[in-house]
Structure 1
């Protein structure tokens, strides 16, 4: 799963996603009300909304280049490696 952080998000489509509290006072997750796909997450200690990149219509933007890859040593061998990375502004 690949996430990207945004300060604000504008949802398009027929309806807003459905939010569920996953940890009271700490985190909530967002799902498509039609198919149930996980779309987004908000955590209390991160000032951005995390969007699952596979939920985006267009992933070609330069702002979607990975800057951090946890568990790099456990990545699938067929994925192109993410070079040594910097930490995002979110931490």
Structure 2
């Protein structure tokens, strides 16, 4: 079980469903919203409990990004076509026991860093 919160604690979450596919996204949108690349894990919608009132931003057709309206923490990524939600690994309280399985959208990564961890890289997301 993973649990976590935004920086100010106004939004909390608990994942009772298994966390899957820990990945780092290097797309331009994730970099702009998070300030760097964004690491997240997928959790089935019916296994995720969110407390508080995140603000949702429609960043692309059928895609929403959830953040705290008080402190601005970027917490969730949701495609209307998927049965799960991306949850920020950086917002998890305590150890996760997880390791990244892939880097996605590396074609969009910033020029100020290199990916040298040996984790598989995808120019774009394979899905």
Q: TM-score, normalised by structure 1?
A: 0.64
Runs of 4+ aligned structure 1 residues displaced above 3 Å come to 74-77, 82-85
Higher strand share: 2
Unpaired segments of 5 or more residues in structure 2? 1-37
The aligned counterpart of 1:47 is 83
* 1:83 positional shift: 3.3
Aligned 8 A contact 1:69 1:82 in 2: no
Matched, 1:6 2:43: yes
Which structure 1 residue ranges, 5 or more long, are not aligned? none
SS at match of 1:54: helix
- What is the RMSD of the two structures over their aligned residues, measured on CA atoms? 2.8
Aligned length: 80
RCO (CA 8 Å, sep 6+): is it higher in 1 or 2? 2
